[in-house]
Amino acid sequence: MKLNRTEYLQSAMFGFNDALVSTTGVIVGISTGTGNKEVVILAGVVTILVEALSMGSGQYLSSKSAHQLNKDNSLKAPLASGLIMFLAYFLAGLVPLLSIVLFPMSYSRDVAIIAALLCLLILGYAKGRIVKVSPLKSALEVLVIGGITTGIGVLAGIIFSV
């Protein structure tokens, strides 16, 4: 049971973090590069759906492989891990997308970045509480790592704007 709990936490952390960082990077990068709201929304929807499905199925397959290696052929933990990954990615991916949908393009990019960074801070804090380490230190670690990565997406959008 402890292995499953660890595996589920890894799936949730990976899914939430990856969606907040990569989806924000894609959405903000494309909005910086094009400024066309419809194109940005399309890119966001495609990114969220494809990545959530890819991450969920990848987590299922990798978890199943690990369980098979350990001669534990139960499908329950791999299925749960894959579903947790899918849901975490999907839900966190909505943060930057809804910012674009709900706000004018003139400042929706800024709202998406701030919302994603705030969610990264909350994610890190929650992780710290769950694993019983300093929540503030954990929050700052997740924020800094995710913030740098998001910034690279923005920079790519500026450099390659069309």
Question: Is 47 within 8 Å of 120 (Cβ atoms)?
Answer: no
pLDDT in tens, the chain (162 residues): 566 888 999 999 999 999 999 999 889 888 888 889 999 999 999 999 999 999 999 999 999 998 899 888 777 899 999 999 999 999 999 999 999 999 999 999 999 999 999 999 999 999 999 999 999 999 999 999 988 987 887 777 778 776
Three-state SS for 54-68 is HHHHHHHHHHHHHHH
H-helix or E-strand spanning residue 34: none
Q: What is the pLDDT of residue 102?
A: 97
**Residue that has been written with the tokens 């899918």 in this structure:** 86
Question: Is 21 within 8 Å of 148 (Cβ atoms)?
Answer: no
Question: Is 60 within 8 Å of 82 (Cβ atoms)?
Answer: yes
Q: Which two tokens stand for residue 109?
A: 């990019």
Q: CB count, 10 Å around CB of 162? A: 9
